[in-house]
Amino acid sequence: MLNSFIDSSPAISRLLSTANNFTFLAPSNTAINAWLAAPGTTSLTTDDVEALISYHLLHGTFPVASFSQNPLFPNSNLNNVTFENVTNGQTVELLQTSNSPSLLSGNATVSTISKADIACTGGFVHILNTILTIPLDVVDFASVQPELQFFDQFLNVGKYTTAIEAPVIEPILASTNVTYFVPNTAEAIANFTNIANIVPPQELGAIFGYHVIPNAILHSTDLQNGMVLQTFQGSDVYITVQGGQVFVNQAKVLQVDFLVANGVLHTLDSVLSRFNATPPFGGPGNFTGFPGPFGPFPHNKPILPSTKAGIAVGVVAIVAGSFTGLYFLIRCLRRREARKQADAIREISKPQEFPKIPPKANRILGQDLETGRAAALQSQKRLELEMMGVAQPMDSSTGRPPIPKRAEARKTFL
């Protein structure tokens, strides 16, 4: 039956005949009949068939021995933008469960291998007992997946499926390579309902955008403790791995790796808030794995190169900012010292002001000057008289005219 689909499409015939280094996941006749009997498959187009078979052809060889409890996410040959928006082709999850190797595709469909490792030129073929499902966009996926009933309510409460929020939602759905962290508990929806009743539409759009990581498909194996991820809204979220659990800010990751048309979706126990981006309380713990449909998925991948680059840029920015601040501090101190020196020079250059003499002191000083001036005039007149022989010279010892000899004798006698 598969051959009839292949022969009906020249494009698929050419794709399979020229493929190299591939793994073809060939659905059995039983799987194809079950798929054709399902609702919605009665009016298949050529594009539908070609997209479906392309999704079953993986890039790279993946024998069953390569499957492990650490999931793999190889790209397929499905790169038709009508059905997907993932760089290098929509992915399929390969996982070794406790029972058998399994493959997870869209709508959480689980396929097992009925016959494995059929070697052929250029690769391997595995026969599947269930046909893969092409992932839907995140809104359609939430509406048909019972495990996402609360996320579906989140979309309805926030009016994200209406024309009001279309300017926010449509660019996200049309984006390439997206990671969604979405709330999916009854408590989360109850809290969000209270918020949605009081905030304006633009804030509701910002809330949804804060749950979306653009330009990065981060599967469970890519999430690392300490990651800082920029959201579609613009603010950052912080990844914490502690106590065997994974958190986005303070929200706990519940389920992981739901494949959607343009990336991957993980569920949370609460609504994220960009106004409370603190990590959960407590110290870091030992991380053993992510919760999945078949138990914890071990985690051992290194930090993403893009995250390393972001950390490096952040460190450079901090150092540059520190040097800039130090430069302006030194410049400010130099200006302050220059102002002090200029003030000191101006103070020295001021004309000196002598203390004023009190009026009383002025009067005394004036009297002394007048007395001195009168004495000098008297001395000058006496000197002139002496020179004319009119006046007797002054005795230098007494400052008075000399005593006549008779008078002096009389004084002695007495």
pLDDT tens column, 31-60 = 999 988 887 777 788 999 999 999 999 999
Pick the last residue of a domain from 80, 107, 128.
128
Same structural domain, 121 and 158: no
Same structural domain, 188 and 123: no
Alpha carbon distances (Å) from 46 to 9, 209, 212, 247: 7, 36, 33, 43
Q: Are strands 123-128 and 22-27 parallel, antiparallel or unpaired?
A: parallel
pLDDT over 50 (residue 213): yes
Q: From CA 209, how far away is CA 94, in angstroms rounded?
A: 30
pLDDT tens column, 230-264 = 999 999 999 999 888 999 999 999 999 999 999 99
Q: Using an 8 Å Cβ cutoff, are 174 and 196 in contact? A: no
**Residue predicted with more confidence, 379 or 242:** 242
Q: What average pLDDT does range 373-387 have in this prediction?
A: 64
Lowest model confidence (mean pLDDT) among 221-225, 234-238, 350-354: 350-354
The pLDDT value given to residue 166: 86
pLDDT over 80 (residue 126): yes
Tokens coding 327: 């430069």
Average pLDDT, the chain: 80
Q: What average pLDDT does range 151-175 have in this prediction?
A: 92
Question: The domain that contains 55 carries what CATH number?
Answer: 2.30.180.10
Residue 258 lies in a domain: yes
Q: What is the dihedral of CA 321, 325, 330, 332, to 10 degrees?
A: 140
The pLDDT value given to residue 113: 95
| Amino acid (1-letter code) at residue 289 | G
DSSP string, 265-322: EEEESS---TT--PPPSS-------B--BTBPBP--PPPPHHHHHHHHHHHHHHHHHH
Q: Using an 8 Å Cβ cutoff, are 255 and 297 in contact? A: no
pLDDT over 50 (residue 287): no
Q: What average pLDDT does range 146-166 have in this prediction?
A: 93
Q: Using an 8 Å Cβ cutoff, are 30 and 259 in contact? A: no
Same structural domain, 220 and 123: no
Domain with 273, as residue range(s), is 138-310
Same structural domain, 59 and 101: yes
Burial of 176 (0-12, 13-18, 19+ CB in 10 A): middle
